[in-house]
Structure 1
Amino acid sequence: MILLLVAVNAAAQTGQGSLRGYVKDEQGGAVPGATITATSAALIQPATAVTDSEGYYRLINLPPGTYSIAAELTGFASYKREEILLRAGATFQVDVTMKIGTLQETVTVSGDSPMLEVSKPSNVLNISGEFQRDMPIQARRNWSDFLEITPGVHSRPFDDGSGRMVYFGHSTEHFAHVIQLEGAIASNYQDAQVTYVAMGADMIDDVQVKTGGVDASAPMGVGLNINVITKSGGNQFKGSAAFAYQSKDMNGDNVKNCSPSPGCNPSASPGVGTPTTALVKQFDGGLGGPIKRDRVWFFGSLRRADLESGISRTAEEVGRLKTFFRDVALFNNTTKSWQPYGKVTAKLTPSHELAAFVQQDRLLATGDREYHYSRAVMYSTGGGLYGGKLTSVWGQKITTTLLAAYNNKGGSNASTYEGFPGAGPTITIHNAANLQV
């Protein structure tokens, strides 16, 4: 898929936010000509605007982050407001009252009322990447775990015992959602359900979920509209790394079961079943920093997932398999994938910013059930997303975004079955089978 988009006020789709408001004096009169400057660790360069004849200003195309704004004009004391948390796609109004004085004097405002979205009637929930990484939901840290606590969304486990979830919103099917990465469609073109989009938790900066009132800037969809905004790096090198490990001994079990392993072979042990244990070996790492300070930043991350999910078999089901196949070797379902991500952001001019990004999430998994005596179900999902976007500011009221993206994510293909021992449907007749029902 290739997408070209030119839009006016397209910040909601690409994840950029804005700050706007009126600058007035202590008597309530408009203050034209004041310089408004926004600074943040999320900005390559400070964003500036000048108030018009009505004292109005607007700072647009701002990435999610924590901001400080300053207002300056000769004859007035400098004004500064700190700790403004701007979320992906949000528009906050920050009005300024300037006092008579000199520029050397500064009026600092902190602890003011929280910001409220003022531009759109959408039902929007923003979840920061930091919050997602800290959620103690499961060791695998799936990026979509936050949907478990999203109002209006309900879920059920994926039917392969992997621990992944299937999500529903607006009473629609689980494949009816729109999933975006930096404004580009990131979902699988065969099946757009959330669980088929994989990414490392370290790459996420903020996620915007629209559950209702979706505006025209978003792609058409009848379910949830999810836009993931990724990290961009910064003027300082920062990185993180984590390894999640969960062995079979870390899984609770209140019946006589054991997970297939050299130390416990249900096929050789009478009266033993296999539980839905989760075995996790997963690495996450990320690094960002400057290529050229105040001009070009980079960020990259990698997830390597090697997961096993026990197939739930009762002792009776294991007994039936042993009746048909005396030497049956039971097994777990597996999921293996490499999930790299890279992004470069460059400030071409104070009004134009260019970003290029690459995401890969191809995975190979098995989905066998309790009645399978050998590997029978293998599948693949995901692929590559390659994109770039040019965001521009034209004055205080117009912003444009040119977005181009190529998405080749799909399902199983010939490479999925390379090395698979199966040779097609077979029929085996067992003369000595003796089943007791």
Structure 2
Amino acid sequence: MMRHVGVGVLVIAGLLLLPAVTSAQAIGGTVSDSTGSVLPGVTVEVRSPALIEQVRSAVTNGAGQYQIIDLRPGTYSVTFTLTGFNVLVREGIELTSGFTAAVDVQLRVGAISETVTVSGASPLVDVQNTAANRVATREVIDTVPSARTFQGLGVLIPGVVLGGQTNNVLQDVGGQSGQSHMTLAIHGGRTRDQTVHIDGLSTEASTREDSSGPYIPDGAIQEYVFDYSANGAETETGGVRVNHIPAEGGNNFRGGAFFSSSPPAWQGSNFDDRLRALGVNATNRVKEQWNAEVKLGGRIVPDKLWFFATYGRFVADEYVLGTYYAQDPRAIRAVPDLSRQALSEQNAYSTAVRLTWQATPRNKFTGFVVNGMQHS
């Protein structure tokens, strides 16, 4: 069977109007002086290469509190400025999807021309949000020796189980399931309660409610976010919510490539005389399995328009236990040809493109499009 699949997601991120549609990264806290008294009117600026506008700012309120929301995942520095006090810079703040970093600081009296830079451990505990989740960052995806799918990563979370199978595979350990449609569940829930989102918007297939239709190259994704407790009202089930956070371009060009392959000779086998005595003629085994991706991101207009493009292709063909081609496919009664084990075949290619446009200092538009072909 051949399928042509495509999906387009347009996120209009009017930062004042839709703060919860994409992801809820934020930096917030309280600013005080050396005596512990709160300081209103402090200018707080966050900077990061992940921001197309490069810098975003806020001012502390009467209680000395501030919060800067709708930040992209990445590494940030935070600068605190108030007349009569030293400038304080806090560096190395790591934000993952859905994380709110609490950064409380104390300013010392001094000349505004003096700058104190603090480099330390990034906040690890989110004390603002009640939802339970795990984030698979790009570093984790590239390092963990598992299938490069959200199912292969999500099943590593304690308590998460897989349901269903794809390409005759129950547990994918090397990509042999191809475009996996296995689903995740936790806390005794139903696997079909899984929901799949891209940047917070549903991409569920028209044929089933728990999976995405198109094959999305893993290289197009910056992070996978697994929400499994206290999900928001935008999630209609109590199951695992998998939110794909697409990678964005930047002012600097960057790219990469990935290739993996599992030749049949590398696969072990438990096919022995005991199984032959039970009447088993063959086992599930790999015929051909490989996956290749290339990606490139950068600027079209500096600080204004970015792009990130990914192309992926895979083949996952596997001989299936107990299934054979017919000796005569035209015969009314099929007689299996035991010398020709049947194949479960999957191969697909797909292109994903993300555009980010900073239309005004307060409004950003993001488009994400996936288009490709799948044969199975």
TM-score for both structures, normalised by structure 2:
0.82
Distance 1:49 1:226 in 2: 31
Distance 2:242 2:210 in 1: 11
Q: How big is the shift at 1:325?
A: 4.5
Q: Are the counterparts in 2 of residues 11 and 17 from structure 1 also a CA contact under 8 Å?
A: no
Q: How big is the shift at 1:194?
A: 4.2
Distance 1:228 1:361 in 2: 18
Pairing 1:297–2:314 present? no
Tell me the equivalent position of 1:408.
Answer: none
Change (3 A) 1:279 1:4: closer
Change (3 A) 1:21 1:278: farther
Q: 2:291 is aligned with what amino acid?
A: Q
Extract unaligned runs of 5+ from structure 1. 258-269, 366-437
Give CA deviations for 1:115-160 in whole Å, capped at 9, x if unaligned.
322332111222213312322124xx22331111123311256153
Change (3 A) 1:231 1:340: same
Q: 1:245 is aligned with what amino acid?
A: S
Change (3 A) 1:325 1:82: same
Tell me the equivalent position of 1:37.
Answer: 45
Change (3 A) 1:327 1:115: closer
The structure carrying a bigger strand percent of its residues is: 2
Q: Are the counterparts in 2 of residues 16 and 62 from structure 1 also a CA contact under 8 Å?
A: yes
Q: How big is the shift at 1:326?
A: 5.1
Change (3 A) 1:25 1:336: same
Distance 1:320 1:241 in 2: 41
Equivalent residue runs for 1:260-409 within 5 Å: 273-277=282-286, 279-313=288-322, 324-325=335-336, 329-360=340-371, 363-365=374-376
Tell me the equivalent position of 1:246.
Answer: 262
Extract unaligned runs of 5+ from structure 2. 1-6, 170-176, 274-278, 329-333
Distance 2:183 2:16 in 1: 34
Q: How big is the shift at 1:17?
A: 1.0
Give CA deviations for 1:178-237 in whole Å, capped at 9, x if unaligned.
210012111213213348663212111122221111122x23123112211111111100
Distance 2:368 2:10 in 1: 14
Q: Are the counterparts in 1 of residues 316 and 347 from structure 2 also a CA contact under 8 Å?
A: yes
TM-score for both structures, normalised by structure 1:
0.72
Q: 2:202 is aligned with what amino acid?
A: I
Tell me the equivalent position of 1:73.
Answer: 82
How many residues are matched?
A: 347
Identity over aligned pairs, percent: 25
Q: Are the counterparts in 2 of residues 343 and 356 from structure 1 also a CA contact under 8 Å?
A: yes
Tell me the equivalent position of 1:255.
Answer: 271
Change (3 A) 1:36 1:8: closer
Q: 2:68 aligns with which of 59, 69, 73?
A: 59
SS at match of 2:153: helix
Q: Are the counterparts in 1 of residues 284 and 318 from structure 2 also a CA contact under 8 Å?
A: no
Give CA deviations for 1:13-59 in whole Å, capped at 9, x if unaligned.
41141111111111112222221111112111211112223222221
Moved more, 167-176 or 178-187: 167-176
Moved more, 86-95 or 160-169: 160-169
Q: Are the counterparts in 1 of residues 224 and 243 from structure 2 also a CA contact under 8 Å?
A: yes
Distance 1:334 1:58 in 2: 51
Distance 2:343 2:239 in 1: 33
Distance 1:123 1:190 in 2: 29
Q: Are the counterparts in 1 of residues 10 and 368 from structure 2 also a CA contact under 8 Å?
A: no
Distance 2:350 2:325 in 1: 39
Distance 1:113 1:238 in 2: 25
Distance 1:304 1:212 in 2: 34
Equivalent residue runs for 1:402-417 within 5 Å: none
Distance 1:3 1:204 in 2: 16
Q: Are the counterparts in 1 of residues 163 and 191 from structure 2 also a CA contact under 8 Å?
A: no
Distance 1:145 1:197 in 2: 18
Q: 1:292 is aligned with what amino acid?
A: V
SS at match of 1:52: coil
Distance 1:349 1:59 in 2: 17
Distance 2:269 2:74 in 1: 43
Q: Are the counterparts in 2 of residues 237 and 290 from structure 1 also a CA contact under 8 Å?
A: yes
Pairing 1:147–2:164 present? no
Give CA deviations for 1:345-384 in whole Å, capped at 9, x if unaligned.
011222111111112365332xxxxxxxxxxxxxxxxxxx
Q: Are the counterparts in 2 of residues 133 and 202 from structure 1 also a CA contact under 8 Å?
A: no
Alpha-carbon RMSD across the aligned residues, in angstroms, is 3.1
Q: Are the counterparts in 1 of residues 26 and 101 from structure 2 also a CA contact under 8 Å?
A: yes
Q: Tell me which of the two structures has the higher relative contact order, counting C-alpha pairs closer than 8 angstroms and 6 or more residues apart.
A: 2
